[in-house]
């Protein structure tokens, strides 16, 4: 297309004005010549006009010469389509609404899939980044893992034993309390090796990032780099923050601020601290302290295969340097960072969701195709007339496809509005995470993906593409069918061909099958959710407020920490409305957050049992109502180490014996602990995982710098919060409260993922069943309309009403039955997608399959009854006259 064509295209008015002026000029000159040859001026002008011919024709020719014919045709098709569609507002609304639902939901789900699975990681050359993990062998107490964390010495040894990576960096997440400026606040930080930022290709927005030298000597360089968000929130975006010191557990010098789009590999962080910035007393050098993640960047020209081989080799060197005490072999493994960013469970639930929402759109397409097919038969007269006045099949086909595309793009535009609303709802990471399974593992890059869910160019492109695709999908078959309507056939009679009725029916069967697949999926997830929410957590979550307190500064002694928390518990218990207060190091249903250790009996030290370990106060058990089953709770008079175990621990450690009075080793705690009581099981990890053995010790005997405070209240526990804050401020103004939630909120969070999955799938299935019902209804109603004459004759010949009714119902039932069979077969295959996402529910559960099929049958029958009743009331005289 050249410049002139473009100008003609864009400035159509100007183009035509020019044309007019030129022709007018021609006529004037010609008329003047003719006047000179003797004609009167009027006759001359008439003659000149006649000679030149029609102005309109020139316009057409000129536009054709400039290659604009197709545009005129398109404009014509569009105007015609708008006229045709606006004459049928009901049809238009039904189609646009169906498509808006389908395209909107698909676009919304796509934005999440894009952010978490498709969009490249936000670092330069993300394809060259790998994640390195240790392969930990199985022990009697712990299963093996191929995604285990590193200790600092193992990381260092690995880094120096390979030559395939440009650089190898370690990182670990932590929390720190910011004090000294305004309200104290718990911040999220990353402890990283000095090369972390250069490896990720991140530059400071202000100041600089760490040098390798700043992460070389322990207890020397206390420097920190701030996130853009923290700098803006706490320092008012003041550039003079560089060089200032801030107070965390000690003072750190701020050397830089990162740009706002940077996020660490373990998730959004407020600040970064070098790994060596710890007191020398703290262990950087313990090869068995596995707490760090490791990432690396491939050297140019090194393939992933070479990197994997080199990683395995370097892993052997690490294993030889730090042999396992039980002589078990450890290894190392490299994976593309991109591939590790989403937990497999989340990936699967996302795929299941995407498949489900795709099915809804497909069903919507079938419905629209159905409507168009029925419309097509109605329109055959119109099409035949257009054919008679010279429109070829191609031209008619193009017209019909233009109509479909206009429908689908209108639906797509409405769908985008819906998607925008949905994405806004997803905006809270909490909800987006829960929908897709983050309840299990909110971490690192996954969180990263969810925090950037947005309706961007890629999403718009996706919406436009699926709009056009659906337009073609539902448009082509009906358009083909309609456009080839023969001239004579259509003008001769209005009764439809058997062929198009068969096509309509088979589309309805397909639609029904797809809807049934979704019904099965939704019923499975709902059942799974119901079973899960009926699971006993072991605690009573009503009216309990919980909050985490991490001591802002290392306590002078363990006793000082215990005293502080003891004071806090006692004062909290004295607040108005509080029945009882308690302390523990971990909350029920906290996922992977609780500590575990290998406990053993003195008589059998070689068969340890992996169990959870909690430092608690006596008040904890009554605050969350964990029942005491045997013995007693802790007593201030206990002078020797004592412990309480749960039922599972008692059964595993002392099967068939009375556990009271038995001794237990609980490393890393000193000495042997006497068992004084047995309490009920509590689900500390996930709700869908059975309770493991748990050991409780007295926090006054073994204190921790981080505890959860519990307060059971008379009524609404959140009302207590201001009092609690004020009381903490009186105890220590530099001490923030963190992670404040009611126990009910924690319990709800544990079932959030299955709950949202069930809700979303249920909504999808509901829409799908509704659409299938509408599809079945429209086909049956259409058939009845077409056969009015036949029914009239049959009634006139003596057929009873009930016979007509059952006849129509029978036909509907055949379709429903075919759809049910198809749906069950498809569901058996498709529900495998849900494996691993269901709790105590088999994907091929026969009860669920039956239940779903019955639901589908009922919906189908309801859809057939209305047209069947209409058929039964056909008046034979009217029916015969109507033709």
Partner 1 sequence: MLLPGTLDLLILKAVSLGLQHGYGVLLRIEQISGGALDIEQGALYPALYRLEHQGLLDTEWGTSDNNRKAKFYTLTTTGRKRLRQETEGWERLVSAMSTALAAKGSAA
Q: How far is the CB of 61 from partner 1 (least distance, A)?
A: 4
Q: Which of residues 824-853 bind partner 1 (CB under 8 A)?
A: none
Evaluate whether 117 touches 342 at the Cβ level (below 8 Å). yes
Q: Which of residues 328-357 bind partner 1 (CB under 8 A)?
A: none
Q: How far is the CB of 49 from partner 1 (least distance, A)?
A: 10
The residue among 26 and 870 lying less far from partner 1, judged by its C-beta, is 26
The residue among 18 and 667 lying less far from partner 1, judged by its C-beta, is 18
The residue among 51 and 842 lying less far from partner 1, judged by its C-beta, is 51
Q: How far is the CB of 36 from partner 1 (least distance, A)?
A: 13
Q: Which of 187, 160, 167 is nearest to 176 (CA)?
A: 187
Residue 2 found at the interface with partner 1 (CB under 8 A): yes
**Residue 657, beta-bridge partner list:** none
Q: How far is the CB of 73 from partner 1 (least distance, A)?
A: 19
Q: How far is the CB of 68 from partner 1 (least distance, A)?
A: 10
The residue among 8 and 743 lying less far from partner 1, judged by its C-beta, is 8
Measured N-to-C along each axis, helices 393-426 and 380-388 cross at an angle, to the nearest 10 degrees, of 130
Residue 62 found at the interface with partner 1 (CB under 8 A): yes
DSSP 508: H
- Binding track, positions 371-400, relative to partner 1; x by CB under 8 A: ------------------------------
785: which residues sit within 8 A by CB, 6+ positions away?
none
Residue 52 found at the interface with partner 1 (CB under 8 A): yes
Binds partner 1 (CB under 8 A): choice among 42, 61, 238, 324: 61
The residue among 61 and 238 lying less far from partner 1, judged by its C-beta, is 61
The residue among 32 and 502 lying less far from partner 1, judged by its C-beta, is 32
Residue 66 found at the interface with partner 1 (CB under 8 A): yes
Binds partner 1 (CB under 8 A): choice among 25, 79, 250, 579: 25
Site of tokens 């009573």: 540
Residue 97 found at the interface with partner 1 (CB under 8 A): no
643 HSE (CA, 13 A, CB side): 30
183: left (phi over 0), alpha (psi -120 to 50) or beta: beta
Question: How would DSSP label each residue in 91-157?
Answer: HHHHHHHHHHHHHHHHHHHHHHHIIIIISPPSSSSGGGEEEEEEEEPPBTTB--EEEE-B-HHHHHH
Grouping H, G, I as helix, E, B as strand and the rest as coil, residue 569 is helix
**Residue 293, beta-bridge partner list:** 171
Q: How far is the CB of 74 from partner 1 (least distance, A)?
A: 20
Residue 46 found at the interface with partner 1 (CB under 8 A): no
Reported as type and span, the H/E element at residue 191 is strand 185-192
For residues 397 and 405, give the distance between their C-alpha atoms in angstroms, rounded to a whole number: 12
For residues 276 and 254, give the distance between their C-alpha atoms in angstroms, rounded to a whole number: 16
Site of tokens 């020019």: 18
Q: How far is the CB of 829 from partner 1 (least distance, A)?
A: 58
Distance, C-alpha 247 to centroid of its chain: 38
The residue among 3 and 534 lying less far from partner 1, judged by its C-beta, is 3
The residue among 62 and 312 lying less far from partner 1, judged by its C-beta, is 62
**From 58-66, 387-395, 501-509, 824-832, span contacting partner 1 (CB under 8 A):** 58-66
The residue among 29 and 487 lying less far from partner 1, judged by its C-beta, is 29
The residue among 30 and 299 lying less far from partner 1, judged by its C-beta, is 30
Q: What are phi and psi of 738, to 5 degrees?
A: -140, 155
The residue among 47 and 590 lying less far from partner 1, judged by its C-beta, is 47
The residue among 49 and 665 lying less far from partner 1, judged by its C-beta, is 49
For residues 404 and 412, give the distance between their C-alpha atoms in angstroms, rounded to a whole number: 12
Q: Which two tokens stand for residue 581?
A: 């207060």
Q: How far is the CB of 27 from partner 1 (least distance, A)?
A: 9
Binds partner 1 (CB under 8 A): choice among 9, 16, 46, 58: 58
The residue among 32 and 858 lying less far from partner 1, judged by its C-beta, is 32
Grouping H, G, I as helix, E, B as strand and the rest as coil, residue 466 is helix
For residues 441 and 761, give the distance between their C-alpha atoms in angstroms, rounded to a whole number: 21
- Binding track, positions 157-186, relative to partner 1; x by CB under 8 A: ------------------------------
Show the DSSP H helices in 732-842 as ranges.
743-750, 752-786, 788-796, 801-830
The residue among 66 and 171 lying less far from partner 1, judged by its C-beta, is 66
380: which residues sit within 8 A by CB, 6+ positions away?
482, 485, 490, 494
Residue 304 found at the interface with partner 1 (CB under 8 A): no
Distance, C-alpha 649 to centroid of its chain: 37
Q: Which two tokens stand for residue 642?
A: 């004592």
Q: Which of 44, 345, 296 is nearest to 170 (CA)?
A: 296
433 HSE (CA, 13 A, CB side): 22
The residue among 31 and 490 lying less far from partner 1, judged by its C-beta, is 31
Q: How many residues bind partner 1 (CB under 8 A)?
A: 23
Residue 23 found at the interface with partner 1 (CB under 8 A): yes
Residue 796 found at the interface with partner 1 (CB under 8 A): no
Evaluate whether 131 touches 168 at the Cβ level (below 8 Å). no
Q: Which two tokens stand for residue 565?
A: 């928390």
Q: How far is the CB of 395 from partner 1 (least distance, A)?
A: 24
Q: Which of residues 402-431 bind partner 1 (CB under 8 A)?
A: none
Burial 608-624 (b: 16+ CB within 10 A, else e): bbbbbbbbbbbbbbbbb
For residues 652 and 599, give the distance between their C-alpha atoms in angstroms, rounded to a whole number: 11
Residue 51 found at the interface with partner 1 (CB under 8 A): yes
Q: How far is the CB of 414 from partner 1 (least distance, A)?
A: 40
| CA dihedral (704, 708, 713, 719) positive or negative | positive
| Residue 194: other Cβ atoms inside 10 A | 20
The residue among 6 and 461 lying less far from partner 1, judged by its C-beta, is 6
The residue among 30 and 503 lying less far from partner 1, judged by its C-beta, is 30
Measured N-to-C along each axis, helices 721-731 and 558-573 cross at an angle, to the nearest 10 degrees, of 140
Binds partner 1 (CB under 8 A): choice among 7, 43, 53, 536: 53
Q: How far is the CB of 40 from partner 1 (least distance, A)?
A: 19
- Binding track, positions 3-22, relative to partner 1; x by CB under 8 A: -xx------------x--xx
Binds partner 1 (CB under 8 A): choice among 67, 126, 207, 268: 67
Q: Are strands 245-247 and 251-257 parallel, antiparallel or unpaired?
A: antiparallel
**From 47-55, 190-198, 492-500, 590-598, span contacting partner 1 (CB under 8 A):** 47-55
Residue 29 found at the interface with partner 1 (CB under 8 A): yes
Binds partner 1 (CB under 8 A): choice among 6, 7, 11, 28: 28
612 HSE (CA, 13 A, CB side): 30
Site of tokens 């909800």: 431
Q: How far is the CB of 5 from partner 1 (least distance, A)?
A: 7
For residues 236 and 226, give the distance between their C-alpha atoms in angstroms, rounded to a whole number: 13
**From 60-68, 80-88, 335-343, 640-648, span contacting partner 1 (CB under 8 A):** 60-68
For residues 538 and 681, give the distance between their C-alpha atoms in angstroms, rounded to a whole number: 6
Residue 41 found at the interface with partner 1 (CB under 8 A): no
Evaluate whether 117 touches 125 at the Cβ level (below 8 Å). no
The residue among 22 and 261 lying less far from partner 1, judged by its C-beta, is 22
Q: How far is the CB of 48 from partner 1 (least distance, A)?
A: 9
Q: How far is the CB of 76 from partner 1 (least distance, A)?
A: 21
DSSP 260: T
Residue 635 found at the interface with partner 1 (CB under 8 A): no
Residues in touch with partner 1 (CB under 8 A): 2, 4-5, 18, 21-23, 25-26, 28-30, 32, 51-53, 57-58, 61-62, 65-67
């Amino acid at each position: 297309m050249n410049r002139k064509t473009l100008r003609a295209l864009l400035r159509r008015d100007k183009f035509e004005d020019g044309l007019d002026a030129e022709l007018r000029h021609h006529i004037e000159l010609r008329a003047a010549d003719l006047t000179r040859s003797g004609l009167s001026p009027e006759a001359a002008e008439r003659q000149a006009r006649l000679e030149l011919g029609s102005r309109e024709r020139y316009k057409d020719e000129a536009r054709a010469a400039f290659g604009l014919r197709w545009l005129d045709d398109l404009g014509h098709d569009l105007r015609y389509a708008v006229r045709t569609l606006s004459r049928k507002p009901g049809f238009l609304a039904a189609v646009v609404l169906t498509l808006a639902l389908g395209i909107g939901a698909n676009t919304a789900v796509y934005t999440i899939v894009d952010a978490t699975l498709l969009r490249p990681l936000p670092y330069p050359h993300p394809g060259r980044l790998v994640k390195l993990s240790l392969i930990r062998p199985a022990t009697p107490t712990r299963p093996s893992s191929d995604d285990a964390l590193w200790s600092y010495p193992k990381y260092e040894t690995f880094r120096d034993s390979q030559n395939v990576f440009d650089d190898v960096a370690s990182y670990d997440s932590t929390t720190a309390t910011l004090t000294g400026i305004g309200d104290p606040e718990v911040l999220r930080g990353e402890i990283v090796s000095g090369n972390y930022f250069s490896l990720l290709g991140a530059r400071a927005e202000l100041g600089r990032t760490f040098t390798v030298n700043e992460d070389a000597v322990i207890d020397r360089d206390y420097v920190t780099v701030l996130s853009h968000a923290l700098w803006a929130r706490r320092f008012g975006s003041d550039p003079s923050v560089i060089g200032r010191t801030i107070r965390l557990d000690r003072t750190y010098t701020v050397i830089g601020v990162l740009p706002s789009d940077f996020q660490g590999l373990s998730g959004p962080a407020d600040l970064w601290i070098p790994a060596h910035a710890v007191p020398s007393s703290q262990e950087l050098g313990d090869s068995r302290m596995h707490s760090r993640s490791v990432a690396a960047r491939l050297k140019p020209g090194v393939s992933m295969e070479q990197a994997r081989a080199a990683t395995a080799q370097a892993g052997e060197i690490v294993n030889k340097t730090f042999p396992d005490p039980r002589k078990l072999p450890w290894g190392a493994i490299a994976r593309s960072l991109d591939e590790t960013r989403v937990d497999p469970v989340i990936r699967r639930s996302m795929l299941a969701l995407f498949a489900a929402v795709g099915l809804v759109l497909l069903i919507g397409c079938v419905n629209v195709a159905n409507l168009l097919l029925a419309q097509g038969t109605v329109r055959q007269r119109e099409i035949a007339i257009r054919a008679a006045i010279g429109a070829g099949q191609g031209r008619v086909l193009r017209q019909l496809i233009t109509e479909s595309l206009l429908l689908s793009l209108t639906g797509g535009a409405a769908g985008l509005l819906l998607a925008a609303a949905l994405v806004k709802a997803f905006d809270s990471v909490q909800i987006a995470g829960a929908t897709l399974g983050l309840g299990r593992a909110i971490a690192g890059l996954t969180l990263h993906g969810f925090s950037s869910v947005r309706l961007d160019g890629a999403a718009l492109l996706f919406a436009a593409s699926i709009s056009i695709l659906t337009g073609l999908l539902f448009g082509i078959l009906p358009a083909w069918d309609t456009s080839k309507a023969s001239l004579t056939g259509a003008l001769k009679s209005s009764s439809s061909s058997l062929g198009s009725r068969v096509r309509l029916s088979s589309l309805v069967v397909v639609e029904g099958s797809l809807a049934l697949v979704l019904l099965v999926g939704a019923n499975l997830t709902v059942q799974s959710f119901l079973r899960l929410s009926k699971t006993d957590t072991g605690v009573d979550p009503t009216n309990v407020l919980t909050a985490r307190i991490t001591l802002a500064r290392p306590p002078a002694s363990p006793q000082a920490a215990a005293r502080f928390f003891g004071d806090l518990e006692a004062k909290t218990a004295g607040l108005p409305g509080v029945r009882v207060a308690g302390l523990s190091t971990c909350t029920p249903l906290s996922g992977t957050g609780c500590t575990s250790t290998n406990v053993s009996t003195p008589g059998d030290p070689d068969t340890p049992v992996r169990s959870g370990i909690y430092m608690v106060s006596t008040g904890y058990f009554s605050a969350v109502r964990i029942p005491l089953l045997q013995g007693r709770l802790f007593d201030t008079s206990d002078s020797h180490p004592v412990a309480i175990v749960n039922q599972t621990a008692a059964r595993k450690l002392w099967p068939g014996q009375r556990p009271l009075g038995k001794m237990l080793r609980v490393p890393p705690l000193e000495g042997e602990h006497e068992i004084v009581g047995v309490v009920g099981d509590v689900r500390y990890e996930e709700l869908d995982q059975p309770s493991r053995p748990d050991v409780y010790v007295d926090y006054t005997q073994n204190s921790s710098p981080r505890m959860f405070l519990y307060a059971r209240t008379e009524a609404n526990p959140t009302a207590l919060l201001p009092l609690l804050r004020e009381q903490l401020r009186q105890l220590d103004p530099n001490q923030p409260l963190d992670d404040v939630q009611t126990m009910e909120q924690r319990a709800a969070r544990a079932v959030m993922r299955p709950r949202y999955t069930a809700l979303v799938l249920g909504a999808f299935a509901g829409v799908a069943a509704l659409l299938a019902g509408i599809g079945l209804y429209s086909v049956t109603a259409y058939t009845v309309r077409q056969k009015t004459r036949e029914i009239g004759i049959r009634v006139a010949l003596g057929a009873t009403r009930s016979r007509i009714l059952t006849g129509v119902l029978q036909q509907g039932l055949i379709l429903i039955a075919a759809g049910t069979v198809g749906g069950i077969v498809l569901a058996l295959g498709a529900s495998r997608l849900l494996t691993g996402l269901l709790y105590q529910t088999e994907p091929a559960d026969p009860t669920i399959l039956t239940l779903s099929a019955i639901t589908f049958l009922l919906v189908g029958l309801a859809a057939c009854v209305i047209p069947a009743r209409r058929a039964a009331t056909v008046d034979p005289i009217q029916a015969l006259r109507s033709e």
